[in-house]
Structure formats: C-alpha cells, structure tokens
C-alpha cells in the first residue's frame, strides 16, 4: 500500500468513527415497577401504554421495561424501589406510604376532600405540584400525577345504616384513612386477605367491605351478597403516581424528559376518562342483573360524625408537622372556592336536568 493510500484509509476510518459516534443518539433504558398487575382494570395496562408511547415518540432512544408485582414482589413498596434506584420509575399510589410520611396522602386523596378535576386544578395551578415536589424531594423522587380513578363508593353493607348506633362494633373491611376515621366512630376496621374477602362477607365474618367503584367491585362479586351500596366519602378522587428517581430524571436530555412527562400526562388523562366509562358500563350491568341493590348515603348524623373525626385526625397531624399543615391549609382553602363553583356549575346542572 502506498503512503497516500494509507493516509486516505486512515482519514476515512477516523472520520466515520467520529461522525457516527457524534450523531448516533444515546439510548436510555429505564425500568418501571408497578403496584398493579395487568389483571387490575384500567391501572393494569397503564405502564404498557406509557412504554409504547415513549418508545415511539423518542424513536427508540428511550426504552422502558415494565415489571409488575409478580416480578418485583413489592407491590406496596414500589416507592422504595424507585427511591433506592433499583427501579427508575415507580407506578403506585402515594397514600400507600402514609406510614412512612403521612403527608403523602394529599397527593392521592383525602376523605371529604377535592373531586378529581378540583384536585387537578389545585395540583397544576393552585400550588399542589410545588408542594408534592417539596415532599418527594426528601425521598429523592420527582412526582408526576399518574391518573385518577375517580370517586370510590362507600362500600357494600349487608344491613342498612340508620344511625351512629348501627356502626358500633360493625366489622368493616376498610383500609387507610377511611378505616382510621370509621374506627373513631366505633367501627372495627379489619384487614382480610384478598382471597378470603368474598367468603368473609358472604359468611358474615365481616359485615361490610369497602372496595373501589362499580367496575372494580363487580369483578369481586359483592353485588351478589350485599344489598346496600353506600355512596362515597372516604376517597373522592384517588390519584395514582409516577414517581421518578431524581438522578435518573436529571440524566435524561431535555427532549426525553418532556417526552416522558407528556406521555405520563396522556396516560393519566386516559385513566380518569376510562374509569368514568367503565364505571358507567359496570353500574348499568350491576343494576340490571341485581335490581334489588339499594344505593344509599349514610344518614346526616353519620356523615357529620365522619367528617368531624376526619378533621380531628388531619388537625392532629398538622400540629406535629408544619409541611403537613401547609398542604392541608392549601387544600382546605382551595376546596372552599372550587366547591362553590362546582355547585353552581356541574351540580346545579345535574340537579336541573334530573327533574
């Protein structure tokens, strides 16, 4: 080989290497742990929708691996998986972790609190997002709303509740804040393994079960064994969360950060809308197949006692934790304004069109 040939070859080889490595975009591979397997209605499919969206939008530069609880074995510890960096993203519900940090409840839902669109308004425009980032920064996580499953029903009761007295000693499967509030009124809030729930209610080992809403409840079959379906007060707007490890997020280039955020927003939007759709269809089916089911609300004295007990729990916590108080005050101030508008807007409309 002549000298000039060597030079040409060397130049070409160098140039090709340099050009390709400079132009070829880096591929980011993230791992997501979810709290809900694919068999869970609506929430089960959400991480896969996210995966498909970010991979298409990024043209393959952002890849997502989705692991469900059958794989990572930590459905109720997904926040820790993301916090420690074992996973880059956790798809879960903030209030699962109230034992670690009571403030986390505010980003899912609070008894007697905001409705879905009210809560979204507070979160996006009323300071909620900044409060969420402040709380989650302590856990090395960035918080994104993951979708709202809407109003939860108050639960399936075998007997009608006509007074506070009727609640005394009643065995109710109701977890979280709802359970704590009912306990203050004399209810025995019990835990029952998922597989035994139906039989426990059928056999009378428990008197009532709070589950979710028509589409989720129908799958459990409670409509076959309990006649009273009580309206909701304990979880008016259950929002899920995408919790992203901050170090992972900070390493992503700006375009991929926004692709991820925007895809999460679209998935979240779909969850509220699909919950509305599926609950509407499911309730129609329940009602048709079980016309004897009575939808009822607790009597005023019970609702007022529940509301009072709830305020006591929240106020106690606020006295201990200034950031808890800051978030509570922010939500309480906004609910006054938002509910006034909801009542003269949507509520008056429903009232007027139902005559």
260-279 binders of a second copy (CB under 8 A): 262-263, 265-266, 268-270, 272-274, 276-279
SS (HEC) of 267-330: HHHHHHHHHHHHHHHHHHHHHHHCCCCEEECCCHHHHHHHHHHHHHHHHHHHHHCHHHHHHHHH
Subset of 279-338 contacting a second copy (CB under 8 A): 279-281, 283-284, 287, 295, 297-298, 300, 303-304, 307, 334, 336-338
Report the DSSP pairing between strands 228-230 and 294-296. Answer: parallel
| Count, residues near a second copy per rule CB under 8 A | 90
Stretch that binds a second copy, among 3-11, 85-93, 238-246, 316-324 (CB under 8 A): 3-11
Between CA 329 and CA 25 the distance in angstroms is 46
Q: Taking CA 114 as the corner, what is the angle to CA 110 and CA 238, rounded to the nearest 5 degrees? A: 55
Nearer to a second copy, 80 or 118 (CB): 118
2 in contact with a second copy (CB under 8 A): yes
Nearer to a second copy, 116 or 179 (CB): 116
Tell me the HSE value of 77 on the side-chain side, using a 13 A CA sphere: 8
Binding span for a second copy by CB under 8 A among 118-126, 171-179, 190-198, 311-319: 118-126
Nearer to a second copy, 56 or 163 (CB): 56
On whether the CB atoms of residues 267 and 49 are closer than 8 A, the answer is yes
Cβ-based nearer residue to a second copy, 25 or 196: 25
For residues 165 and 322, give the distance between their C-alpha atoms in angstroms, rounded to a whole number. 36
Q: Report the nearest approach of a second copy to the CB of residue 4 (Å).
A: 3
**Phi and psi angles of residue 240, each rounded to the nearest 5 degrees, phi first:** -90, 170
Q: Smallest distance from the beta carbon of 331 to a second copy, in angstroms?
A: 13
Q: Please state, in angstroms and as integers, the Cα–Cα distance from residue 173 to each residue in 22, 197, 216, following that order.
A: 59, 8, 16
Strands 239-245 and 141-148: antiparallel
Contacts (CB under 8 A) with a second copy, residues 130-169: 150-151, 153
CA distance 97 to 317: 15
CB of 84 to a second copy, least distance (A): 29
Q: Tell me whether residue 39 or residue 354 sits nearer to a second copy (CB atom).
A: 354
- Smallest gap from Cβ 322 to a second copy, in A, equals 25
Nearer to a second copy, 176 or 214 (CB): 214
**Of the listed pieces 77-85, 183-191, 232-240, 316-324, which binds a second copy according to CB under 8 A?**
232-240
| CB of 153 or CB of 209, closer to a second copy | 153
Give the footprint of a second copy on residues 88-107 (CB under 8 A): none
Instruction: For 78-138, give the DSSP string.
Output: HHHHHHTTSSSEEEE-GGGGTTT-GGGGGGT--TT---HHHHHHHHHHSSHHHHHHHHHHT
Q: Is residue 118 at the binding interface for a second copy, with CB under 8 A as the rule? A: yes
> Which part of the chain contacts a second copy (CB under 8 A), choosing from 32-40, 75-83, 160-168, 339-347?
339-347
CB of 78 to a second copy, least distance (A): 24
Q: What is the spatial distance between Cα 286 and Cα 211, in angstroms, rounded to a whole number? A: 15
Q: Counting contacts by CB under 8 A, is residue 13 touching a second copy? A: no
- In angstroms, what is the minimal distance from the CB of 282 to a second copy? 8
Q: Tokens 């004897």 identify what position?
A: 292
Q: Site for a second copy (CB under 8 A): which residue of 176, 211, 236, 249?
A: 236
Of residues 49-88, which lie at the interface with a second copy (CB under 8 A)? 53, 56-59
What's the start-to-end Cα distance of the chain, in Å?
95
DSSP string, 193-253: -GGGHHHHHHHTSSSEE----HHHHHHHTGGGT--EEEPPSS-SS-EEEEEEEHHHHHHS-
Query: Which of 40, 112, 134, 326 is in the footprint of a second copy by CB under 8 A?
Result: 112
Q: Which of residues 15-44 bind a second copy (CB under 8 A)?
A: 15-16, 19, 23
Q: How far apart are CA 198 and CA 224, in angstroms?
A: 10
């Amino acid at each position: 080989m002549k000298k000039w040939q060597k030079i040409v070859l060397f130049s070409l080889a160098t140039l090709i290497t340099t050009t390709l490595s400079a132009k070829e975009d880096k591929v980011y591979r993230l791992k997501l742990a979810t709290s809900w397997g694919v068999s869970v209605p609506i929430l089960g499919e959400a991480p896969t929708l996210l995966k498909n969206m970010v991979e298409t939008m990024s043209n393959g530069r952002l890849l997502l691996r989705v692991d469900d609880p059958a794989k990572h074995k930590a459905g109720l510890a997904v926040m820790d998986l993301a916090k420690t960096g074992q996973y880059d993203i956790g798809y879960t519900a903030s209030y699962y972790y109230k034992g670690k940090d009571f403030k986390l409840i505010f980003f899912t839902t609070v008894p007697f609190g905001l409705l879905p669109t009210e809560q979204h308004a507070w979160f996006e425009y009323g300071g909620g997002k900044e409060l969420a980032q402040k709380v989650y920064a302590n856990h090395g996580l960035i918080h994104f709303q993951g979708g709202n499953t809407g109003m939860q029903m108050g639960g399936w009761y075998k007997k009608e509740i006509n007074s506070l007295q009727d609640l005394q000693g009643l065995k109710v499967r109701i977890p979280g804040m709802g359970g704590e509030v009912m306990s203050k009124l004399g209810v025995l809030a019990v835990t029952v393994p998922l597989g035994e729930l139906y039989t426990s209610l059928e056999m009378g080992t428990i008197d009532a079960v709070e589950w979710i809403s028509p589409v989720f409840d129908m799958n459990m079959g409670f409509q076959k064994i309990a006649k009273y379906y009580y309206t909701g007060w304990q979880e008016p707007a259950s929002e899920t969360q995408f919790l992203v490890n901050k170090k992972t997020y900070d390493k992503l280039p700006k375009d991929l950060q926004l692709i991820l955020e925007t895809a999460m927003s679209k998935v979240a939007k779909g969850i509220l809308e699909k919950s509305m759709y599926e609950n509407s269809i499911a309730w129609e089916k329940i009602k048709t197949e079980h016309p004897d089911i009575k939808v009822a609300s607790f009597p005023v004295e019970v609702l007022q006692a529940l509301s009072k007990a709830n305020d006591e729990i929240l106020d106690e916590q606020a006295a201990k934790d200034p950031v808890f108080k800051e978030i509570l005050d922010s939500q309480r101030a906004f609910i006054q304004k938002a509910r006034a508008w909801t009542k003269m807007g949507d509520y008056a409309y429903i009232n007027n069109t139902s005559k």
